A and B are shown apart, each in its own frame.
Chain A
Amino acid sequence: METAIFLIFAALALGSALMVVTHKSPVYATMSLVVTLFSLAVMFVLLGAPFIGALQVLVYAGAIVVLFLFVLMLLNISKEEHQQEGQTVHRWVALLGAGAFIGLVVPLLYRAAQPRNAGVLTEQFVSIREFARDLFGRYLLQFEIVGLLLLVAVVAATVVARKPPAAPSGAPGADSPVSEVEP
């Protein structure tokens, strides 16, 4: 039963990941990313991390990707433009690189994880209480640092994305949705 779930959602994740990197329209690519993230959340639950799975949907699929969509719509970014010269070589190099990576890493990972048995999932491993105990106990310093990082990111994003103060004479036209819509 679990194998079936794994195979279905792994296929879904890989398929939508391919859509993410190949589809011409950025909006479709973003929606495919949502499907990928959701499938990966299922993977996390299968691996005994339901908290992480729920957080993946809540944070990643429910907020970060929405941010992507916001920016896409505000900037009114339509489909990608036509292929330029040099693009085909680019593509083959990238594919070759990815293929080499797969060929090197995949057998390594497979063999590395093989002989060891993962053991039975215990209630203790899955429990959120124990997770919180680890997070606020052993890793408290890292937790606080990440909080600081998020604060810095909020300030930085606000400063970087806001409208420039007094527009000089060479400013872009006022017909852009970016300068008008400030949600």
Chain B
Amino acid sequence: MSLPNSVPVSWFLVLAALLFAIGVAGALTRRNGIGIFLSIELMLNAANVALVGYSRLLGERTGQIMVLFVMAVAAAEAAVGLGLFIAVYRQRRTIDVNRLNLMRW
């Protein structure tokens, strides 16, 4: 399965950067806690694309292995984060981050 390189890797990297920027905008803008979480997942995926892109460029498989670890870490983070959301919801009946302001100055 030897595919010719018809799509330049730089395009994939640009896609990764755009996705990351969208994720950042979402994480800063959303008020729903789950929405922020989704934006974070978007950022992680953008990083994954960049990693695999560079792995392809350099001919090394290290990038792909890192992606595997990133996925595992994202899963762990999602599990614990959502557990926290459930706990917070139990107490405060909301996950609107503007209202979760007990620790503000």
Contacts and interface: CB of A to CB of B under 8 A. Distances in A.
Contact of A51 (B7, B57, B64): B64
Interface in B48-104: 48-49, 52-53, 55-57, 59, 61-62, 64-65, 67-69, 71-80, 82-87, 89-91, 93, 95-96, 98
Contact of A40 (B28, B48, B73, B87): B48
A150 B13 CA distance: 29
B34 A17 contact: no
A136 to B, nearest CB: 10
A74 B87 CA distance: 12
Given A17-B19, A116-B57, A160-B83, A121 B5 contact: yes
B17 A55 contact: no
A64 B81 CA distance: 12
Given A21-B39, A146-B73, A178 B45 contact: no
Contacts of B56: 47-49, 118, 121
Contact of A125 (B61, B69, B91): B61
The dominant DSSP class at the B interface is helix
Nearest to A65: B41
Interface in A81-118: 81, 84, 87, 90-91, 93-95, 97-99, 101-102, 105-106, 109-110, 112-114, 116-118
A101 B14 contact: no
A37 to B, nearest CB: 7
Given A14-B22, A117-B5, A21 B30 contact: yes
Interface string A36-78: 1100100110111101100110011001100110011011010
Contacts of B69: 142-143, 146
Given A43-B15, A101-B21, A64 B86 contact: no
A101 B24 contact: yes
17 contacts: A1-B6, A13-B15, A49-B64, A49-B67, A55-B68, A68-B37, A81-B96, A90-B28, A91-B29, A110-B10, A113-B13, A120-B3, A123-B2, A157-B80, A157-B83, A160-B84, A161-B82
Interface of B: 1-26, 28-32, 34-35, 37-39, 41-42, 45, 48-49, 52-53, 55-57, 59, 61-62, 64-65, 67-69, 71-80, 82-87, 89-91, 93, 95-96, 98
Interface of A: 1-3, 6, 10, 13-14, 17-18, 20-22, 26, 29-30, 33, 36-37, 40, 43-44, 46-49, 51-52, 55-56, 59-60, 63-64, 67-68, 71-72, 74-75, 77, 80-81, 84, 87, 90-91, 93-95, 97-99, 101-102, 105-106, 109-110, 112-114, 116-123, 125-126, 130-131, 134-135, 139, 142-143, 146, 149-150, 152-154, 156-158, 160-161, 164, 172, 176, 178-179
